[in-house]
Amino acid sequence: MSMSWCPYRAHAGGATQRPRCTSPLWLGALLLLLLGAWDQPRAWSQEVTGGMKLLLQELQAVKRSHLEAMAQIEDLRQQLRAKGGPASASYRLPARIEFCGERVPLDEREIRERLDQEFLLYVDHPGQIMLWLKRMGRFMPLIEQRLADYGLPADLKYLAVVESSLRPTAVSTAGAGGLWQFIQATGRRYDMESTPWVDERMDVSKATEGALQYLRRLHGIFHNWPLALASYNAGEQRVLDELREQGVSSYYRLALPTETERFVYKIIAMKVILSNPERYGIVVDKSEYYRPPETEGVTVRVTGSRLHLRAVAEAAGTHFAMIKMLNPQFRQRYLPAGVHQVYIPRGAAATFAQNFKEASGSWSAVESQSVSYQPGPREESAPRRKTIYYAVKKGDTLTKIAAKFDASVESLQKWNRLSSTMHIVPGQQLMILKE
């Protein structure tokens, strides 16, 4: 009979019960299992310890990255504070604002509120403001120089920003087009033709010339820049009629269509922001401003039925897309028969004529002409004639006024851009040029 280890166990009742004895085979297996697993807790400990070390290393790396990022953010904050960035920007109107040499009456609560609304709508779009600033680098050198040549206030340049966002090909829902947003009829009054082939309202140089002539004429009528700008938007006759009916003389007292009422406030708000963008947290290095295209002009005479712009591009040593970009006034890929002014890259005019003649044959010819997108040096102009402004009185006619100032009716119409069908009205200002 084999021996087995059979311990007794006492039960709660005091009696003892002999359990089932464990066989020697089972006991041996248990001992082997215990001996084989003796080092297992040590392996588990090593695994856990290694995993914890990796986790701690990763956490330390994340912490270092976080600290570095926070240091960079703090550095940027300090830079922005130093440059007037968003951290220090205050979206408040200045206490005093001048526009075209005149003080804006901000002490009147209603006027300040209306300007404040336009200001806040603009200043809350920093990306758009940055884009305006960069575009100003391309177009303002020309506009500012022509304003100075005409003796007009520099603040009028902000009119072009409000009108078109400085996009030469902009077209409104009302059909106004170009940098200065002329409707076709007004554009024709200022020598800008609009045909299915060419729309000269998109020609930056021509449109700027026309806009400044028109603004000078409007100021001659109203002798006040806010009223002149309101009439640029609504038409001079509409503003004259409203002034007469409402019995006021100030733009700020005048009830006009909503768009026109907001128009001048928008221009003033644009000046406030773009003349000092750092004050409102907009920082753009001037090296990032877009540059005026370096161009020169040539006059192309097309004697055939039409001419593809690709031929012009090839003669200028450039490509079709460049010619289209420099000449937004061309609506089609072709130039029709006639004489056209074309902008080409600067330096190309010297060889353009010969290249063009060889490429196109005898059916068209070309002449060089000194025309530039980019303003050149100022030239001394001949002495200007004296300008007189006359307020039309009841019973006046162009014939009577012409006789009074020893001028012709045709001259009066030319000086004031009046057609033969247009009527003058009491209170209207007429410009008269005297030697």
- What is the pLDDT tens value at each position of the chain, 435 positions in all? 444 444 444 444 444 444 454 455 555 555 555 545 445 555 545 555 666 777 777 777 777 777 777 777 666 666 655 555 444 457 899 999 999 999 999 999 999 999 999 999 999 999 999 999 999 999 999 999 999 999 999 999 999 999 999 999 999 988 999 999 999 999 999 999 999 999 999 999 999 999 999 999 999 999 999 999 999 999 999 999 999 999 999 999 999 999 999 999 999 999 999 999 999 999 999 999 999 999 998 888 888 788 999 999 999 999 999 999 999 999 999 998 888 889 999 999 888 887 876 555 433 444 444 334 444 444 333 344 566 777 788 888 888 888 788 788 878 887 777 766 667 777 677 778 765
Total count of domains within the chain = 3
Length of the chain: 435
If asked whether residues 284 and 302 sit together in one domain, one would say no
Alpha carbon separation from 137 to 144, 156, 180, 381 (Å, rounded): 11, 16, 17, 27
Nearest Cα neighbor of 191 from 329, 304, 305, 335 is: 329
CA-CA distance, 81 to 223, in Å (whole number)? Answer: 43
Q: Is residue 50 assigned to a domain?
A: no
If asked whether residues 301 and 412 sit together in one domain, one would say no
Q: Which string of b and e fits 248-285 if b means at least 16 CB within 10 Å?
A: eeebbebebeeebbbbbbbbbbbbbbbeebebbbbbbe
Residue 391, strand partner residues: 429
If asked whether residues 272 and 166 sit together in one domain, one would say yes
The last residue of one of the domains, among 288, 322, 341, is 288
Say what the pTM is.
0.66
Phi-psi bin for 257: left (phi > 0), alpha (psi -120 to 50), beta? beta
* Spatial CB neighbours of 227, under 8 Å, sequence gap ≥ 6: 239, 243, 250, 251, 254
Nearest Cα neighbor of 406 from 430, 387, 432 is: 432
User: Which residue in this structure is represented by tokens 């270092």?
Assistant: 64
CATH of the domain at 400: 3.10.350.10
- β-pair type (295-308, 102-103): unpaired
| pLDDT for 339 | 87
With beta carbons less than 8 A apart as the criterion, state whether 106 and 95 touch.
yes
Q: Is residue 222 assigned to a domain?
A: yes
With beta carbons less than 8 A apart as the criterion, state whether 332 and 300 touch.
no
If asked whether residues 268 and 147 sit together in one domain, one would say yes
Largest CA distance in the chain: 156
Task: State the amino acid at position 329 in one-letter form.
Answer: Q
> Domain range holding 322?
295-368
3-state secondary structure 31-47: HHHHHHCCCHHHHHHHH
Q: Is residue 342 assigned to a domain?
A: yes
The last residue of one of the domains, among 273, 288, 303, is 288
Phi, psi torsion values for 210, nearest 5 degrees: -65, -40
Q: Is residue 376 assigned to a domain?
A: no
| pLDDT for 420 | 65
